[in-house]
Structure 1
Amino acid sequence: MPKHCLSLICSPEIVEKLLDALLTAVPDQVFTSTPTFSHGTPHGRLSGAEQVMGRGAAVQIQLILDQEQLSSTLEMVRLRFKGTGLCFWASELSVEGVVE
């Protein structure tokens, strides 16, 4: 069964709640979170300074999931984070591993 890399882009205001939800939903998965900037964010979600700069502060979270985990995680995100502007995409992995 192929695995997927799920990328979530969220505002710093909801990141702790999202991380807690992910730790509960997929407790056995290692994932990363990285401060980043989002571009193309609707202006209603940007501060005045962010509108001038054309970018907003954000956090990117990436998880490696199988198809079942991907479906259940996206369902949870859609239910618990409705209206937050959280963006996501998923890509099928061609390879993964751990160097030991």
Structure 2
Amino acid sequence: MSELCLTLLCPPTIEEKLLDLLLMLPSTTVFTSTPTAAHGVVVWDLSQTEQVMGRAHVTEIQVIFAAADKAILLDTIRQKLAGTGLRYWVTTVVEAGEIV
């Protein structure tokens, strides 16, 4: 089965809403969330400190899912979080598994 990894950059204002959404979706059984800094074009309101530092404090979320679920997953996120400036990209997972 072909798998993909969806990476999301999430502003603090919608973090809990996004995490709750991902927990409810059957296609997102494995995902991680990590505080990180985003550099470059960011549409969210930056604090004065973030503007001076040149980075925004965000949560990076990575979701592993079946390639067949891509359209439904992205459409659901778009519908529920439209207008939030959520950034994302999708990459192919070359290999994944569990070390037992």
Provide the TM-score with structure 1 as the length reference: 0.90
The alignment status of 1:69 with 2:66, answered yes or no, reads no
In 2, Cα distance between equivalents of 1:33 and 1:44:
19
Q: What does 1:38-49 correspond to in 2, within 5 Å?
A: 38-42=38-42, 45-49=45-49
Letter of the structure 1 residue corresponding to residue 65 of structure 2: L
- Identity percentage over the alignment? 42
Q: Deviations over 1:9-50 (max 9, x none)?
A: 111111110010011113661110000011113365211211
Structure 1: any 5+ residue segments left out of the alignment? none
In 1, Cα distance between equivalents of 2:56 and 2:14:
14
Partner of 1:88: 88
In 1, Cα distance between equivalents of 2:94 and 2:27:
23
Question: 59-68 or 42-51: which moved more?
Answer: 42-51
Letter of the structure 1 residue corresponding to residue 77 of structure 2: V
Partner of 1:36: 36
Equivalenced residues, count: 100
Q: Residues 32 and 61 of structure 2 are in contact (CA less than 8 Å); yes or no, is this contact kept in structure 1?
A: yes
Residues 81 and 23 (structure 1), Cα distance of their counterparts in 2 relative to 1, 3 Å cut: same
Moved over 4 A (4+): none
Structure 2: any 5+ residue segments left out of the alignment? none
| RMSD over equivalenced CA pairs, Å | 1.6
Provide the TM-score with structure 2 as the length reference: 0.90
